[in-house]
Structure 1
């Protein structure tokens, strides 16, 4: 096999994979944050992102009085130009929505989680790093 053929085949496979990724239908999708930013926190809580059409929703779910100061930072590639933004504050059980067409990378750079709510005797848990991608 020639050197040119050795490089052309992987490039063709990568191009086909990318074309399939971007041609995928705009179905509802959910992406877990990896690694889980709440992995070391108890009691258990979740941070998630879902996308349906162009609508992206970030959600924090925890015990009844749980709070977090975490915010999701995002990079969206799909509109007229790439955009960078933030989810704003996440409230327990209430989703935050944005209109983000195309591919979106979501980042939780840190923050804290308090299972009993702000101002109680429990110690807040430091959140880890979390990353997710939706299309």
Structure 2
């Protein structure tokens, strides 16, 4: 295999992966993270993203004293220039909002979920990877 062919194949695979991500169906009002980063955690909790107009909101909902150290990393394409940022800390029952016009990719690279808070007896759960797309 020539050097050019050896280089072109991984580039083509990366381009197809990026195209699939950007072509994923976008929800106008809400998008679940896929796969669900909390899928293996008990008791159940949710992480989601909602968009209304240009306003994006990330929300963590769990039992009363639940905590997470997860943050959402986003790439927004739609303003003057692409913007990369984070949601900042997510607090149980309180949404974090940002003004993000256009297309936005949202990523949860990991973190932990503690269903009864840092002083509780239940063990913290390691979050999986998750992404969502809004426009």
What TM-score does the superposition give when structure 2 sets the normalisation length? Answer: 0.79
- What is the rounded CA distance, in whole Å, between the counterparts of 1:118 and 1:37 in structure 2? 20
The answer to whether residue 77 in structure 2 is matched with residue 60 in structure 1 is no
The aligned residue for residue 114 of structure 2 is: 114
**Which runs of at least 4 in structure 1 moved beyond 3 Å after TM superposition?**
none
Structure 1 residue matching 2:97: 3-state secondary structure: strand
- What is the rounded CA distance, in whole Å, between the counterparts of 2:36 and 2:28 in structure 1? 21
The aligned residue for residue 81 of structure 1 is: 81
The answer to whether residue 98 in structure 2 is matched with residue 94 in structure 1 is no
Note the residue ranges of structure 1 that are not aligned, 5 or more in a row.
1-20, 22-26
| Cα displacement (A) at 1:28 | 4.3
Superimposed CA distance per residue, residues 56-114 of structure 1 (whole angstroms, 9 cap, x where no aligned partner): 00000000000000000000000000000000000000000000000000000000000
What TM-score does the superposition give when structure 1 sets the normalisation length? Answer: 0.79
- What is the rounded CA distance, in whole Å, between the counterparts of 1:118 and 1:86 in structure 2? 23
Note the residue ranges of structure 2 that are not aligned, 5 or more in a row.
1-22
- What is the rounded CA distance, in whole Å, between the counterparts of 2:28 and 2:65 in structure 1? 29
The aligned residue for residue 35 of structure 1 is: 35
The aligned residue for residue 70 of structure 1 is: 70
| Cα displacement (A) at 1:29 | 1.4
| Cα displacement (A) at 1:122 | 1.4
Structure 2 residue matching 1:50: 3-state secondary structure: strand
| Cα displacement (A) at 1:121 | 1.9
